[in-house]
Chain A
Amino acid sequence: MHRLILIVLLVFCSFSSWSSKFSLDKFDIEINSDFLGEEIFLFGQKDEDSDLIIIFEGAEKEGNLFTKTKRGLLWINEKQEIDRIPSFFAIFSTPKYSLNEIFLISSITSNHVLIRNFTERLYQIRTGLKIKGLYFENELQSIEENLFINKFKIPDNISAGDIKVSLYEIQNNEVINIKQKVLNIQKKGLTSKFEKMLEEQSLIYTIILVVFSIIFSLLSNWLFKRR
């Protein structure tokens, strides 16, 4: 797979001018019952004189941030309701940009809620997402001159929805070019059907579970009685 991507990458670059561009080896991910996360190849080329920052940002959802605080002997969760939490967030850069350096480029931070400012709350959200494998920062791996390729994993706890991928070309701390693509994540098959049924037809969901429970219990009882 890695070799194939390299060939695609070389072909991809040989027919084009030396402007920065990127692609992914897939733009659609299906969450099925055998979904264990998905490996993605991010590859492309960069202009020699520019730096690159590529940001993956999942669809924003409402959620809660729980902070553990010690009260007496026990660790208690303190809850904060958050309106907008991306379902996934990853930053790739070349050369490696720290988050503090990215904070200085307002035309990037203003586009992404999770890196909008230095606040403690955003730090806590990023840490919470990092623990779930839904946030990370990586350096883009250069392979030949201005080509880069990175392999990373979309974890199995990812929610369905679009992930917006934005490429920022930077010179002297100014964004000179932006390119965007979308990585689509959908729940399919039985997984999606069960979830829909649980949300919309709870009575049928209950009946199916009850019928299955009774049939299987009777069957196992009968099988072991016969022997």
Chain B
Amino acid sequence: MNFYLPIAEISINIYILLSLGVGIGFISGLFGIGGGFISSPLLILVGVPPAVAVGSTTVQVFASTSTGVINHYQKRNIDYQMGITMITGGIFGTLTGVLLLNNLQNIGAIDNYLSSIYVLLLLGTAIFILYETAKVNIFYKNKKFKLHQHSWIHGLPFKFKYRKSKLYISILAPLFIGFGIGLLTGFTGIGGGFILIPCMIYLLGMTTISVIGTSLFNITFISLISLFLQITINQNVDFVLAIILIISSSLGAAIASRIVEKLDQENLKVLFGVLLIIIASFLLYELFKTPINLYRIEYA
């Protein structure tokens, strides 16, 4: 059964879309991620125009993180000073990302750039996950790691006291991290939690208690800003596609939350890493294969 997507201006099989949403939600639920970096490339692979895939994924990211923020607000796990600093950087990053997407869409290079970035992100994350799993289970079994190590970042000027996180660091570091994540959200539609959380722990030295709440706080606001900018500047958010994604991915996430405790976490991580490599391989193949159609028309 096909369904018409008014903004994408294509009809797509509803079962493919629902399975995709449930699958993305399921993976999000298993690994506690937003799932944007899987849904955008998968939507492109099933035929949704890249710009619409990016815009509509932003809604899904917002939906999947907003309730998390409410939960963490109630538990007082959010470092608002840190969150606001990152959002300030993120606003400029998002605007840059949305304008970059608009520009690349106008010159027709969006598919190549987006696919290349997704391949890098997916492969990078897969390698990181597989390496971390191997490090903990094989190389350094039973050894303790020190999370907070001082680096050049702690020597930057304009220092500020973040009371909740008990940090005295330069304001520039969270501003730049926020800018980078905002750029990624605006350009690719992903929330960027899988990059933001390691940055907050390893680069800023934040405590793990406030990291999740603060990252969700940041991602929710940045995805909201990105959503507004995508709608205003790029007009690429498909209401129907977004709603199908929200409903199906919520269902997937709920299913995952029921079985996650019964599964072996280490095996799951390896499986997730392999899944990311498979998606990246498909995108890589699409990038280098000889195109069947040499000409494409797009109406203004």
Interface residue A109 (Cβ < 8 Å from any Cβ of B): no
B288 closest partner in A (C-beta):
A73
Contact B112 A74 (CB under 8 A): yes
Evaluate whether A156 and B294 lie within 8 angstroms (CB atoms) in the complex, with A61-B299, A217-B66 already known. no
How far apart sit A156 and B239, CA to CA, in the bound complex (Å)? 18
Interface residue B167 (Cβ < 8 Å from any Cβ of A): no
Q: Within residues 35 to 70 of chain B, which ones have a CB less than 8 A from any CB in chain A?
A: 59, 62-64, 66-67, 70
Contacts of A221 in B (CB 8 A): 67
Contact B235 A198 (CB under 8 A): yes
How far apart sit A156 and B5, CA to CA, in the bound complex (Å)? 10
Interface residue A224 (Cβ < 8 Å from any Cβ of B): yes
Contact B295 A124 (CB under 8 A): yes
Evaluate whether A198 and B240 lie within 8 angstroms (CB atoms) in the complex, with A36-B4, A77-B109, A125-B297 already known. no
How far apart sit A199 and B231, CA to CA, in the bound complex (Å)? 8
Stretch at the interface among B81-89, B148-156, B242-250, B268-276: B242-250
B96 CB to closest chain A CB (Å) equals 19
Contact B251 A191 (CB under 8 A): no
Interface residue A78 (Cβ < 8 Å from any Cβ of B): yes
Task: Kindly supply a per-residue 1/0 record for chain B positions 212-249, scoring 1 wherever the CB is within 8 Å of any chain A CB and 0 otherwise.
Answer: 00000000000010011001100101011011001100
Contact B7 A129 (CB under 8 A): no
Contact A75 B6 (CB under 8 A): no
Interface residue A18 (Cβ < 8 Å from any Cβ of B): no
Task: Kindly supply a per-residue 1/0 record for chain B positions 1-29, scoring 1 wherever the CB is within 8 Å of any chain A CB and 0 otherwise.
Answer: 01110110111000000000000000000
A191 closest partner in B (C-beta):
B6
B13 CB to closest chain A CB (Å) equals 11
A218 closest partner in B (C-beta):
B67
Task: Kindly supply a per-residue 1/0 record for chain B positions 247-272, scoring 1 wherever the CB is within 8 Å of any chain A CB and 0 otherwise.
Answer: 10011011001100000000000000
A45 CB to closest chain B CB (Å) equals 35
Contact A156 B67 (CB under 8 A): no
Task: Kindly supply a per-residue 1/0 record for chain A positions 189-227, scoring 1 wherever the CB is within 8 Å of any chain B CB and 0 otherwise.
Answer: 011001100110011011011101110111011011000
Instruction: Please indicate which of the listed interface residues B70, B106, B294 has the most CB atoms of chain A within 10 Å of its own CB.
Output: B294
How far apart sit A198 and B293, CA to CA, in the bound complex (Å)? 31
How far apart sit A61 and B298, CA to CA, in the bound complex (Å)? 10
Interface residue A94 (Cβ < 8 Å from any Cβ of B): no
Given A68-B294, A75-B112, A217-B63, 18 more A-B residue pairs with CB atoms under 8 Å apart are A63-B300, A68-B296, A74-B112, A77-B109, A78-B108, A79-B108, A128-B297, A129-B297, A157-B9, A190-B6, A191-B6, A202-B228, A213-B59, A213-B62, A213-B246, A217-B66, A220-B251, A224-B258
7 CB contacts below 8 A, A to B, read A35-B11, A128-B297, A190-B6, A205-B237, A205-B239, A206-B231, A218-B67
Give me the interface of A with B, judged by CB distance under 8 Å: 31-37, 61-68, 73-79, 85, 87, 124-125, 127-129, 131-132, 134, 156-157, 159, 187, 190-191, 194-195, 198-199, 202-203, 205-206, 208-210, 212-214, 216-218, 220-221, 223-224
The 6 A-B pairs of least Cβ separation, nearest first, read A213-B63, A128-B297, A77-B108, A220-B250, A128-B295, A62-B300
